[in-house]
Homo-oligomer: A and B are copies of this chain.
Amino acid sequence: MNYQDFKENIIKADDIIIFSHVNPDGDTLGSMIALYLIIKNNYKKEPVMVVAGEIPDIYCFLPQIDKAVTFDKIEKDRVFDLAIAIDVAAKDRMGAGVPIFDRAKVKMNIDHHKTNNGYGDYALICPDACSAGEILFDMFESLKFPIDKDTADALYTSILTDTGGFRYDNTTAKSFRIAAKLVECGINAGEIARYCFETKAKQMVLLQANALINAEFFENQKIVCTCITNSDMEHFNAKEDYTEGIVGTLRQIKTTEVAAVLKEVTSQSTKVSLRSKNVDVSKIAGAFNGGGHIFAAGCTIQKPIKIAKEKLVEEIKKYL
């Protein structure tokens, strides 16, 4: 798809819907909102924004986020003129939205995941972009759509969160150059960073501290792992996403080669998150029918958490 196709399809369509992905993150939400605002501001149309699942509290500062709805709010059998999936690597990542997407007269797919197979009638896949927000910024700039502060806030949130605050290896000169332009559009970079990275529930901080205190070290501290039981989750009255970030902190420890967080699902099932500095943890996850990337992978072991931990540590040792 070229930028002109995007513009022409927006002009032709009256009834537009924008899809974000399940477990919504800052990129899919920020770029969904940026799309919504550009269409609304330039064409006086009001697209429907849909989210598959709860919006994390930290993103509630995003402009217009309260306009996003869940699928149950959309009339059964409604046929949209245009459906746009943004940051949705595979169609099934729209969750319950797939039939609505499929029914739309024109289907558009804008994404930066290299695994995206280009589903839909029009696809714009840019694997070199750090985020879907970066793709949109380029397109909006090229089509000369004015970027107001709200749109800039949304695009900056996309770029900021998908580069891990400019800390991941997908951070490029272009990421920084767009950030500079967004500051000139009126964003407050410090404020958005505080919303995205520096707002935590008290119980999350305490659950995480507890998990770190209980960390166990093996093989000259090259392996570090911690277990989070259902009783821990209850004790800290924790939501599911409160465990996010723990495995990253364990990887930060100087001696760490492989970090693992084990989370009890049931008495017979344990979810594992793995991170490493050099070791290919996708292979370790693979040994338990999981998968992922070299430095970040995951799996579920059908064992009680204590036994899962023993089996996992034995497996990790083979890769050191």
Contacts and interface: CB of A to CB of B under 8 A. Distances in A.
Interface string A196-211: 0111111001101110
B166 A254 contact: no
Given A167-B197, A200-B253, A209-B210, 15 more contacts: A166-B166, A167-B194, A169-B188, A169-B190, A173-B180, A173-B181, A173-B183, A173-B184, A180-B180, A199-B254, A202-B253, A205-B250, A208-B209, A208-B212, A209-B209
A220 to B, nearest CB: 11
A172 B176 contact: no
8 contacts: A167-B197, A170-B190, A199-B252, A200-B252, A200-B254, A205-B249, A205-B250, A206-B213
A263 interface: no
A64 interface: no
Contacts of A170: 190
Interface string A133-152: 00000000000000000000
A229 interface: no
Interface string A145-174: 000000000000000000001111111111
Interface of A: 57, 165-174, 176-177, 179-181, 183-184, 188-191, 193-194, 197-202, 205-206, 208-210, 212-213, 215, 217, 221, 248-255
B251 A198 contact: yes
B202 A212 contact: no
A181 B165 CA distance: 18
A155 B199 CA distance: 30
Contact of A177 (B176, B250, B255): B176
A95 B255 CA distance: 33
Nearest to A160: B166
Among A184, A251, A252, the one with the most B-chain Cβ atoms within 10 Å of its Cβ is A252
Contact of A189 (B171, B191, B215): B171
A208 to B, nearest CB: 8
A173 B185 CA distance: 10
A205 B199 contact: no
A247 B205 CA distance: 12
